[in-house]
Structures are given as structure tokens and as C-alpha cells.
Amino acid sequence: MINSILTEAPARRNLTAAAHLMASLFLFAIMDALIKWLSADYPVHQIVFFRSAFALIPSMLLAYYSGGLSTLRTRRPGAHFLRGLVGILSMGLIFHAYSVMKLADAAAILFAGPLFLTALAGPALGEKVGIRRWSAVAIGFAGVLVIIQPGGTAMQPAAFGALAAAGMYALAMVLVSKLGTTESSASITFYFSLFGTVTGVVLLILFGWTETTPRDFLMLATVGIIGGVAQLFMTKAFRLGEATVISPLKYSSMIWVVLFGYVIWGDLPALHVVIGVAIVIASGLYIVHREAVLAIARRRLLPIR
């Protein structure tokens, strides 16, 4: 009876985590569609400001329900600053990509994030990355090249910006991992949103503010609130569940961005994008599988091959 409870508990946690992650991915897809829609009339730096400023609302709510302002205390402001800088650069690049590319095409390139994360795991986190995972990373980047088609007539500079955003996102996740050893989820989320808000104000002073209509102001505010809530759902998902179990679900976000892109703009990804995405996803799934195998081997003290 006890063994049954012990084996079922992780399964229940993973199921709950999966539900949180799926909700997060759906909300992020809505946010991305809103950003693409709004980028036709508003500059990227203004969207970054709203994305960050209104994300402070759910961040503060998380802090309140996690124990109050004491959860926001930090002894590592420099680390938060670096995480914020990398994260905002990534945000600006991908928002620009959304403004000039098909939603699904830009989102497809972001799938390179886990490949960058694996590549960074060795030098940044001290993890040993074997030949199998390095091979998967190389194949995955080949898939990215299929999507981008460097040298092709359809290639856009924004595609390389999206690829850079994926790399910066991976670096941001490494920094979050390091911060997570001493900082609360509330403080990590709050200081990132605060940094983005301050940066957005500076950019608005330097490059100007585009007057908003009441409807657009509401949509811009919604971008921030949805983004903040989605981030909380994702944080909760990875705190509850096993990363190797729920991580593959992140690729399901392609369903939503393709759906929104088609319904709103009539866009469908080209064949080369579909092929490239398939290669990148297959590589990412193999990396997740390999990490699961290695984790089991470590727990059982088996030799790692």
C-alpha cells in the first residue's frame, strides 16, 4: 500500500505539472500573437515596456502569497542584473522577429533554445555533455539552418535575430538555474520584470512613445499580464514535475502558434520550415531522453556509457 502511494505521488505531480505547462504554453502563444498584432503600430521598445511593467502585477501577487516582501530580499543584485540584461535582449530580438516574420517561423527558430542550453551546460554548469548529446545538438542546428535557409532568397536578417534570441534565452535559463540555488521564484520573476520596466522607460525616453488608443492600451497591458501569469505557470510546472518528463510538452506550442498564425493572418509555415522543425524537435527529444537515461544511471550508480 505504501509503495503504491509512493509510486503514484510522482505521477500525480507530473500530471499537475503537465497541466500547468500546457496552460503556460497556451498563454504564451496568445501573448506572441498579440505582440505580432501590436507591432504593426507600436515600436518594439514600447511593447517591451508593457510586457515588463504589467508583468509586475502577477509577480507581486506571487511574492505576497509566498511570504510577503521578505521573499524579494536578495544578496545577488549583480546576478539579477545580468539575468535581466540577457533576458531583455532576447525579448527585444524575438519581438522584432515576430513583427517581420510569420509567427510560426519565428517560434520554430526559438526551438533551438534547448540545443543552446545543452551546449552551455558544460562550460556554464559544469555538466559533462557526451558525444551522443553533442551529436544531437549538431543535428538540431542543422535543422535550424534548414528553417533559416542562409543564402536563400527568403532568408531574413530577423531570422538570425531570433536565433540569437534563442541563444540568449538559454543563457538566461542557465543564470536562473544559478540564481535558484539562493533566490526565491518570486524574487527571480520580480527583478526580471523590474529590470525590463526600467529599461523600457529609458528606451521610451530615448526613442519616444507612440500614442495608444484605449483598445490598444488594454491589449498592451494584457501582453504583460498574460506573460507574467504564463511565467508563473511555467515556474510552477518545473518546480512540481520532473523536467525530463514534462519538457517534451514544450514543443506542443507549435500547434498554437500555427493555429493563431493561420486564423489571424492566413499564414502557414513553408515545407522547409516543417522539415527543419521536425529535425530540431527530434534532436531535442533525444536530448531529453538521454538526460533521463543518465539520471537513472546516476541514481542506480550504473556506469554511464
Check residue 4 and give its pLDDT: 41
Let me know how long the chain is: 305
pLDDT digits over 46-91, tens only? 999 999 999 999 989 888 888 888 888 888 999 999 999 999 999 9
* Band of pLDDT at residue 37, cut at 50, 70 and 90: very high
State the average pLDDT for the chain: 86
Domain boundaries, the chain: 2-300
Residue 302 has pLDDT above 70, yes or no: no
158-178 confidence digits (pLDDT tens): 899 999 999 998 888 888 878
3-state SS record for the chain: CHHHHHHHHHHHHHHHHHHHHHHHHHHHHHHHHHHHHHCCCCCHHHHHHHHHHCCHHHHHHHHHHCCCHHHHCCCCHHHHHHHHHHHHHHHHHHHHHHHHCCHHHHHHHHCCHHHHHHHHHHHHHCCCCCHHHHHHHHHHHHHHHHHHCCCCCCCCHHHHHHHHHHHHHHHHHHHHHHHCCCCCHHHHHHHHHHHHHHHHHHHHHHHCCCCCCHHHHHHHHHHHHHHHHHHHHHHHHHHHCCHHHHHHHHHHHHHHHHHHHHHHHCCCCCHHHHHHHHHHHHHHHHHHHHHHHHHHHHHHCCCCC
Residue scoring higher pLDDT (230 or 238): 230
Q: What is the pLDDT of residue 304?
A: 47
Tell me if 105 sits within 8 A of 273, measured CB to CB.
yes
User: Residue 78: what pLDDT?
Assistant: 92
Tens of pLDDT, residue by residue over 94-150, are 999 999 999 999 999 998 888 887 788 666 656 677 788 888 889 999 999 898 887
pTM, entire model: 0.86
Is the four-CA dihedral 163, 169, 172, 173 of positive or negative sign?
negative
- Regarding predicted confidence, which is higher, 223 or 302? 223
Question: pLDDT at position 295, please?
Answer: 67
Higher pLDDT, 63 or 218: 218
Q: Is pLDDT larger for residue 153 or for residue 186?
A: 186
pLDDT given for residue 123 in this prediction: 67
Asked if 117 and 175 touch (Cβ cutoff 8 Å), the reply is: no
C-alpha cell, 184: 526565491
Cβ distance 16 to 243 under 8 Å?
no
CA-to-CA separations, 151 to 94, 110, 145, 154, 300, in angstroms, rounded: 21, 20, 10, 8, 49
